[in-house]
Amino acid sequence: MLKRVEVKTNSRVQLIDITAHIKSQLRSENFSSGVVFVYVPHTTCGITINENVDPTVKEDILSVLGSLIPENGHYRHLEGNSDAHMKASLIGSSVTVFVESGALVLGTWQGIYLAEFDGPRKRSVLLKIVPD
Ligand code: ZN
């Protein structure tokens, strides 16, 4: 089954924890066991899994990406958001997470993040939920 979660981002570059949104979709379907593919159909945002306790990790990730791929570099793409395209490719557009007994199988410190690189925008997160 395919579900869609709408996420509103509120700055140009941002990591938003969407774990609760995904859990809520699994609960609403009474989904017990299988996998969920989490995918964004966009070219300037991505999906990643990382630390969800210490907020400085998010800041460090965004800071390092900003250093590696500056917003105002020498790019050929005329839309003014080349850095966002490159950061999105580096992060990737999907993750796959196992589901057991109705719960996401995540490590203690892990959360699922939408990585915005050209916000603020409304983003769609697609969930493909596949039973065992
Ligand atoms: Zn562009």
| pLDDT (tens digit per residue) in 47-64 | 999 999 999 999 999 999
Q: Calculate how far, in angstroms, residue 86's C-alpha sits from the geometric centre of ligand 1.
A: 10
Q: Calculate how far, in angstroms, residue 85's C-alpha sits from the geometric centre of ligand 1.
A: 6
- All domains of the chain, ordered by start, with CATH? 2-131 (2.60.120.460)
Integer angstrom CA distances of residue 75 from 43, 72, 88, 91, 116: 16, 8, 15, 19, 20
**Residue list, CB under 5 A from ion ligand 1:** 79, 81
Q: Calculate how far, in angstroms, residue 110's C-alpha sits from the geometric centre of ligand 1.
A: 30
4-61 pLDDT, tens digit each: 999 999 999 999 999 999 999 999 999 999 999 999 999 999 999 999 999 999 999 9
How far is residue 84's CA from residue 102's CA, in Å, rounded to a whole number?
Answer: 35
